[in-house]
Chains A and B, each alone.
Chain A
């Protein structure tokens, strides 16, 4: 079963005299309970593609399906996507609400969408998620007071609060040290295995796909390559894919 299916998606942004095409004719399938990584140089449109799927941007044309149901263009907005199709988004900068403490950040979607839930149950549920993300010790901290790695975990905790079927993650490992990266990948794998969530990750860190047993597609000049497992991907004869693999392994060597 396909969790997400994109057909002939096109997206452009207005330029000062014309429009600049970012994505041309994108076709993509993400299977249920699987991991798919989108690689690509900076500025190729990886984050844009995730934002399009999440409904934060509108495509110029094309069709987007969630579990086989089409998201019509006039209904394709983030509120609908989140509520109807149970899609959660983890932003590159975590995007935690700055005037709410860690606990309240995670509790916010639960309180908002389950107003009937007694406060002790909300507390239990939030604490359970925070513990599973190993950030329960920061529950009374404001986001600015915790490290980037911890912020990333809280952002994932918040995204998981409503038990999404699909998780979109933008550069989840950027700026993390090796230890934090490993534990974050373990948490993502848990979500896939235990909750059968489908996970789409935009990243420069292509090793993620290997470690999570997922596939990789490369986004280059607005076009996606065929999905491949890491071992096949690194053998690709395409120059831009070789560059991507080289950059990714260089970054991993630094870590």
Chain B
């Protein structure tokens, strides 16, 4: 029994103490712990010292945002083109051409855009971050920071989280924009080439109007909120599993794989919660209007 528990608590207190320890040592407890510590570090930042942390944030934005852009753009073009061409093969036959904008908003802007971007960043940047932090642990670099009086949460985790979130918001917006705009023109090209197979007509003005008409005010909130939550989850999972590496180099690949898997799982759960919240809010708004 730990010394502090033995000394300070009666049986009921001990039960709560143990429940508390169980919560703190659980995955969710640790994940929330690292997120809240980072938020605390962000708000307790010394303005004079910001230069050191700002450098780390810029490096993270560069690595997460700029270097990942070609990959994000490619996937966005493919997804946009596929969605439009698939819709073209089915919707005109069923007489749903007017709902084209709704379909694009729901699939690209609300759901797949933020989630796919987050998955790509979790696989690319999250894994790299977990490996970086894990190697720093193995090489005692994190210990070295502490012995220099430098808090690893302030120096490593918080800048990675802020940079990751910032980059993900930009990338997610770019993903949706590229999927909708470039996807449209590629699909239009396909319609010209494959006239016999694709029946519908693609008019830019009509397409753009229907998308803009389908957008709700809440969509603009979600465009920022989803990448913000996903970015926090990706970077905190990467740092959590990277930091959990002890002194064995064989733990690093395990931490990378766990970081990616747990990022995927938490992103899916967070997306479900946010989409449900959006849906409930949407239904309530419609009921009020009716």
Given A60-B3, A115-B46, A116-B48, also A108-B150 (CB < 8 A): yes
Is residue B250 contacting chain A, with contact meaning CB distance below 8 A?
no
Q: Indicate if B194 sits at the interface (CB-CB under 8 A).
A: no
Instruction: Choose from B49, B140, B148 the contact partner of A158 (Cβ within 8 Å).
Output: B148
A97 to B140, CA, bound (A): 9
Contact size class for A? 20 to 34
A66 within 8 Å of B (CB atoms): no
Mask for B1-23, Cβ within 8 A of A = 1, else 0?
Answer: 00100000000000000000000
Contact A97 B141 (CB under 8 A): yes
- Point out the residues of chain A lying under 8 angstroms from B141, CB to CB: 95-98
- Does B248 lie at the interface of the complex (its beta carbon under 8 Å from any beta carbon of A)? no
The B148-172 residues at the A interface (CB cut-off 8 A) are 148-151, 155
Q: A96-B144, A98-B141, A112-B150 are in contact. List 6 more A-B contacts (CB 8 A).
A: A51-B143, A82-B148, A89-B143, A96-B141, A98-B136, A112-B148
Closest to A81 in B: B147
Cβ-defined partner of B147 (8 Å) among A61, A78, A111, A113: A78
A121 to B140, CA, bound (A): 29
Contact B148 A108 (CB under 8 A): yes
Interface size class of B (residues with CB under 8 A): 20 to 34
B98 at the interface (CB under 8 A from A): no
Q: Are A162 and B149 in contact (CB under 8 A)?
A: yes
Chain B CB within 10 Å, residue with most, of A51, A77, A79, A96: A79
Q: How far, in Å, is A61 (CB) from chain B's closest CB?
A: 7
Contacts A/B (CB < 8 Å), 29 sampled: A56-B143, A60-B3, A77-B146, A78-B143, A78-B146, A78-B147, A79-B149, A82-B146, A82-B147, A82-B149, A87-B147, A89-B147, A91-B140, A91-B143, A91-B144, A93-B139, A95-B139, A95-B140, A96-B141, A97-B144, A108-B52, A111-B52, A112-B49, A112-B52, A112-B149, A115-B46, A115-B51, A161-B148, A162-B148
- Whether A109 is near chain B, meaning CB under 8 Å from some CB there, is yes
Q: How far is the CA of A109 from the CA of B49 in the complex (A)?
A: 11
Q: How far is the CA of A146 from the CA of B146 in the complex (A)?
A: 24
Q: Is A83 on the interface with B (CB-CB < 8 A)?
A: yes
Q: Is the interface of B mostly helix, strand, loop or mixed?
A: helix
Distance between Cα atoms of A116 and B135 in the complex (Å): 32
- Cα–Cα distance between A78 and B140 once the two chains are bound (Å): 13
- Interface set of B (CB-CB < 8 Å, partner A): 3, 46, 48-49, 51-52, 135-136, 139-141, 143-151, 155
A61 touches B149 (CB 8 A): no
Whether a CB of chain B sits under 8 angstroms from the CB of A184 is no
Chain B residue nearest to A110 in the complex (CB): B148
* B-chain residues with CB within 8 Å of residue A4 when the two chains form the complex: none
> With A and B bound together, what is the CA distance between A79 and B142 in angstroms?
11
Question: Does A56 contact B150, Cβ atoms closer than 8 Å?
Answer: no
Q: Does A54 contact B (CB under 8 A)?
A: yes
**A88 an interface residue at 8 Å Cβ cutoff?**
yes
- Please name all residues of chain A whose beta carbon is closer than 8 Å to the beta carbon of B148 when the two chains form the complex: 82, 88, 108-109, 112, 158, 161-162
The 4 A-B pairs with the shortest beta carbon distances in the complex, nearest first, are A78-B146, A115-B48, A82-B149, A89-B147
* Assembly CA distance A154 to B139 (angstroms): 16
CB–CB B147/A56 < 8 A? yes
Question: Nearest Cβ distance between residue A33 and chain B, in whole angstroms?
Answer: 21
Question: Are the C-beta atoms of B3 and A88 separated by less than 8 Å?
Answer: no
Cα distance, A83 to B52, chains bound together (Å): 18
Of B3, B48, B51, B149, which is in contact with the most chain A CB atoms at under 10 Å from its CB?
Answer: B149
On chain A, the residues within 8 Å of B135 by CB distance are 98
Nearest CB in chain A: distance from B241 CB, A: 19
A161–B52 Cα distance when bound, in Å, is: 17
